[in-house]
C-alpha cells in the first residue's frame, strides 16, 4: 500500500505538484496522466522512495515494483548476467542458479574427497533450488519473457550487450515476475509489439495488487485501468472510470467550472457597478456600498479557479541546404557482438528528400545500423558513404546525447545560434523554464524534446531518427509529425508507432536483418506493429 498525504514536489525553483493526497491499494488500477514535464515521472520516483517530497509524507508497505521509462543499463551483481538470470533474480532464483552452475564447473577441477564434497554441495544446491520452486519459476519466467517478445537466444544473451529496447523488455519481465504488492509502471509499452501489448493488458487486468501506470498508450489506459489521477496545473484530481470516461468527465467539470466562474464574475461586476453609483451619494447608500465592497472582497477570495490551457509544443525543422542526389549509402555492412551475428551484407542508397523506414523485430539490428550510419558504431565489414554536402543529424532513442550534470541550455552549445535564439528554440519545446536545470533530471518526454531541439539547431539535411515518438504526449507527437511532413531533407526512421508511420508515409522500407529493400505500402504496417 502507498498513502500520499499533502505532498508537494519541487525541482529547483519550479513547483510541480502542490497538496497531493491519494492512495494506491490492493486492487487499484490507476492511470496517472498529464502533459510531458508535468511531474509524473518525478512523482513515481517519490512514490518508490528514490526521492523525498519537498513537503508532505509518503507511507509505504509491502513489496513495490518500479519500472522506469529509462532504458539505462541496470546495476548488475555480475556483469555477464544473462537476460534469464536477470529476470530470475527478481525472486533470488537467478543467484541460486549461478551458484549451482559455479559448483558444477568446479567439479572438473576436483579429485578424491574434494570432488565428493563438491558433488554433495552441487546436489544440496540443486535440491534447495527445486524446493524453492526453481524449475517451475524458470518455466514461468520463460513464458513471461516469450509473451513480451524475448526469444530463447535473447534469454541467454548478456544484458550488458543488449539494445535499449531489449533491456526494457527484460526489465519489464523482471518486474512482472517479481512477487509484488504494488506496481509503479512508467511507459511500460514502449518497445512492445501488438501481441506483447495485448498480453500485458490481460496480465495487468488480472493482477491482484495495486497498480499506478503512466502511459501515452491510450488503448492500454482504456482497458487496464479503472480510475485516473490527472496532473494539471500543479494539482492532482481524481476521476473514476477508464481513460475515455476521464476525457468526457474532465471536459464536463471544466465546463461546469467555467459556468460557475462566469456567474461569479457577472455578480461581482453588478455589485461593483452599484458601488460606483451609490458610494458618493447619501450617507445611508454609502454605508450600503461599503458593505457591498466587503461582500465583493469575499466573493473574489472564493472565485472558482479556471485551469490554464497548456501551451503547445512547436516543432519546426528549418529547411536545410540541399545535399547531393544520394546523400547516404551503405555497402556490405556486417555487425556482430561476440558470437551474436546481428546482420550481414546490408547495403542501400538513400536519395535526396527520400523517407526510408527500417523495419525488423526487436534485436534485428535497426538501432545498431542507425548508430553505424551516424558514425557512433563501427561496422565489422563494409562502409558508409556520405554524399555531396550531406549533413547528418541523429536522434537516439536512449537519449545518450544528453549528459547528466549538464544544464539544458548547455546542451545547445554545439549550435551556431545566439543565446537568445537558443532560449527561444527551447521555449518552443516547452523547456524555457528549465534552461538551467540539470538535463539528467528531466522526464523521458522532456529529454525527447531537448534531443529534438538539439537536432533542429544543427540544421541537418539527413535525419536519422530512432523511435522519436517514445514518451511524447499526443500533442507533441502531432507537432513532430507535421514538422517531418514539411521537412525537405532526407529521413531514415525507426519506429514501432504504426499511426505515426502511416501518416508520414515512407517511400521505401529496409527489412532487417536481411537487408531487403521494398517500396512502402500499407501491408508493411503489420511488420511495423511487430517491431
Examine the fold and report which residue of 179, 196, 230 is the final residue of a domain before the chain moves on: 179
Question: Could you report the per-residue pLDDT of 310-352, keeping only the tens digit for each?
Answer: 677 788 888 889 999 999 999 999 998 877 788 999 999 999 9
Instruction: Please report whether residue 351 resides in a domain.
Output: yes
As given in the structure block, the three cell numbers for residue 324 are: 547531393
Instruction: Please report whether residue 520 resides in a domain.
Output: yes
Reported as a pLDDT band with limits 50, 70 and 90, residue 78 is low
Residue 470 CB contacts under 8 Å (≥ 6 apart), including other chains: 187, 190, 191, 397, 444, 448
* Cα angle 7, 11, 17; round to 5: 35
Instruction: Report the CATH number at residue 452.
Output: 3.40.50.300
pLDDT over 90 at 291, yes or no: no
Which residue in the block uniquely carries the three cell numbers 531489449? 166
Reported as a pLDDT band with limits 50, 70 and 90, residue 76 is low
What's the confidence (pLDDT) of residue 96? 67
Instruction: Please report whether residue 173 resides in a domain.
Output: yes
To the question of pTM greater than 0.85 for the whole model, the response is no
Q: Which residues partner with 212 through β-bridges?
A: 30, 184
Reported as a pLDDT band with limits 50, 70 and 90, residue 95 is low
What's the confidence (pLDDT) of residue 46? 92
Q: In Å, what is the CA distance from 98 to each residue of 95, 102, 137, 322, 339? A: 5, 6, 15, 56, 21
Give 183 or 90, the one with higher predicted confidence. 183
Question: Could you report the per-residue pLDDT of 461-502, keeping only the tens digit for each?
Answer: 999 999 898 878 888 888 899 999 989 999 999 998 888 999
Examine the fold and report which residue of 141, 158, 179 is the final residue of a domain before the chain moves on: 179
**Spatial contact of 200 and 145, defined as CB atoms under 8 Å apart:** no
**Spatial contact of 246 and 33, defined as CB atoms under 8 Å apart:** yes
Cα-Cα-Cα-Cα dihedral of 99, 101, 107, 108, to 10°? -140
Residues of the chain above pLDDT 70, percent: 94
Reported as a pLDDT band with limits 50, 70 and 90, residue 525 is confident
**φ/ψ of residue 289, rounded to 5:** -65, -35
Q: Count how many domains the chain has.
A: 2
Instruction: Please report whether residue 257 resides in a domain.
Output: no
pLDDT over 70 at 398, yes or no: yes
What's the confidence (pLDDT) of residue 161? 79
Coil, strand or helix: which one is 529? helix
Across the chain, mean pLDDT equals: 86
Q: How far apart (Å, rounded) are the C-alpha atoms in residues 386 and 330?
A: 9
- The DSSP H or E segment spanning 428 is helix 419-428
Question: Could you report the per-residue pLDDT of 247-274, keeping only the tens digit for each?
Answer: 899 889 888 888 888 888 888 888 888 8
- The full length of the chain comes to 531
**Spatial contact of 225 and 482, defined as CB atoms under 8 Å apart:** no
Reported as a pLDDT band with limits 50, 70 and 90, residue 390 is very high
Examine the fold and report which residue of 116, 148, 179 is the final residue of a domain before the chain moves on: 179
pLDDT over 70 at 94, yes or no: no
As given in the structure block, the three cell numbers for residue 408 are: 539544458
Exposure letters 478-511 (e unless 16+ CB within 10 A, then b): bbbbebbeebebbbbbbbbbbebbeebebebbbb
Q: How far apart (Å, rounded) are the C-alpha atoms in residues 309 and 180?
A: 38
Average pLDDT estimate for 443-472:
89
What's the confidence (pLDDT) of residue 329? 96
pLDDT over 90 at 278, yes or no: no
Instruction: Please report whether residue 91 resides in a domain.
Output: yes
pLDDT over 90 at 23, yes or no: yes
What's the confidence (pLDDT) of residue 331? 95
pLDDT over 90 at 387, yes or no: yes
Q: Pick from 35, 34, 46: which is nearest to 9 by CA? A: 46
- What is the CB neighbour count within 10 angstroms for residue 184? 24
What's the confidence (pLDDT) of residue 279? 76
Instruction: Please report whether residue 223 resides in a domain.
Output: no
Residue ranges making up the domain that contains 486: 328-530
Instruction: Please report whether residue 64 resides in a domain.
Output: no
| HEC-encoded secondary structure of 34-87 | CCCCCCHHHHHHHHHCCCCCCEEEEEECCCEEEECCCCCCCCCCCCCCEHHHHH
Question: Could you report the per-residue pLDDT of 130-164, keeping only the tens digit for each?
Answer: 666 666 788 888 999 999 988 888 888 888 878 77
Amino acid at each position: 500500500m502507498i498513502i500520499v498525504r499533502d505532498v508537494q514536489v519541487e525541482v529547483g525553483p519550479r513547483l510541480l505538484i502542490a497538496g497531493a493526497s491519494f492512495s494506491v491499494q490492493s486492487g487499484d488500477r490507476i492511470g496517472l496522466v498529464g502533459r510531458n514535464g508535468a511531474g509524473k515521472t518525478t512523482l513515481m520516483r517519490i512514490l518508490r522512495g528514490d526521492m523525498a517530497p519537498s513537503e508532505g509524507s509518503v507511507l509505504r508497505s509491502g513489496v513495490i515494483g518500479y519500472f522506469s521509462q529509462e532504458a539505462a543499463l541496470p546495476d548488475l551483481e555480475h556483469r555477464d548476467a544473462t537476460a534469464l538470470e536477470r529476470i530470475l533474480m527478481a525472486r533470488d532464483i537467478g543467484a541460486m542458479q549461478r551458484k549451482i552452475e559455479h559448483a558444477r564447473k568446479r567439479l572438473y577441477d576436483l579429485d578424491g574427497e574434494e570432488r565428493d564434497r563438491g558433488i554433495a554441495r552441487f546436489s544440496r544446491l540443486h535440491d534447495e533450488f527445486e524446493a524453492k520452486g526453481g524449475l517451475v519459476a524458470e518455466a514461468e519466467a520463460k513464458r513471461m519473457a516469450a509473451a513480451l517478445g524475448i526469444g530463447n537466444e535473447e534469454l541467454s544473451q548478456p544484458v550488458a550487450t543488449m539494445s535499449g529496447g531489449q533491456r526494457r523488455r527484460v526489465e519489464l519481465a523482471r518486474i512482472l515476475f517479481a512477487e509484488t504488492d504494488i506496481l509503479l509502471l512508467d511507459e511500460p509499452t514502449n518497445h512492445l509489439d501488438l501481441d506483447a501489448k495485448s498480453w500485458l493488458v490481460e496480465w495487468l487486468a488480472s493482477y491482484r495488487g495495486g497498480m499506478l501506470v503512466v502511459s501515452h498508450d491510450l488503448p492500454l489506459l482504456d482497458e487496464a485501468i479503472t480510475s485516473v489521477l490527472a496532473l494539471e496545473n500543479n494539482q492532482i484530481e481524481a476521476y473514476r472510470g477508464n481513460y475515455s470516461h476521464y476525457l468526457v468527465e474532465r471536459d464536463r467539470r471544466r465546463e461546469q467550472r467555467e459556468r460557475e466562474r462566469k456567474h461569479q464574475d457577472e455578480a461581482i461586476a453588478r455589485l461593483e457597478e452599484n458601488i460606483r453609483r451609490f458610494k458618493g451619494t447619501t450617507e445611508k447608500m454609502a454605508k450600503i456600498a461599503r458593505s457591498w465592497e466587503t461582500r465583493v472582497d469575499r466573493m473574489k477570495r472564493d472565485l472558482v479557479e479556471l485551469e490554464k490551457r497548456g501551451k503547445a509544443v512547436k516543432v519546426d525543422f528549418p529547411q536545410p541546404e540541399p545535399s547531393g542526389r544520394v546523400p547516404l549509402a551503405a555497402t556490405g555492412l556486417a555487425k556482430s557482438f561476440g558470437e551474436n551475428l546481428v546482420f550481414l551484407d546490408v547495403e542501400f542508397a538513400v536519395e535526396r528528400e527520400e523517407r526510408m523506414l527500417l523495419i525488423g523485430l526487436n534485436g534485428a539490428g535497426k538501432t545498431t545500423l542507425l548508430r553505424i550510419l551516424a558514425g557512433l558504431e563501427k561496422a565489422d565489414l563494409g562502409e558508409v558513404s556520405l554524399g555531396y554536402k550531406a549533413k547528418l543529424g541523429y536522434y537516439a532513442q536512449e537519449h545518450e546525447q544528453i549528459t547528466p550534470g549538464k544544464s539544458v541550455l548547455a546542451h545547445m552549445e554545439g549550435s551556431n545560434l545566439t543565446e537568445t535564439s537558443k532560449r527561444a528554440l527551447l521555449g518552443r519545446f516547452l523547456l524555457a523554464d528549465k534552461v538551467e536545470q540539470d538535463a539528467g533530471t528531466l522526464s523521458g518526454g522532456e529529454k525527447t524534446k531537448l534531443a529534438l531541439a538539439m537536432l533542429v539547431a544543427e540544421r541537418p539535411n539527413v535525419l536519422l531518427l530512432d523511435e522519436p515518438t517514445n514518451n511524447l504526449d499526443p500533442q507533441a507527437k502531432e507537432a513532430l509529425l507535421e514538422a517531418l511532413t514539411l521537412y525537405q531533407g532526407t529521413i531514415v526512421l525507426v519506429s514501432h508507432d504504426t499511426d505515426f508511420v502511416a501518416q508520414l508515409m515512407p517511400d521505401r522500407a529496409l527489412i532487417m536483418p536481411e537487408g531487403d529493400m521494398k517500396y512502402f505500402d500499407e501491408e508493411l504496417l503489420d511488420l511495423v506493429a511487430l517491431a
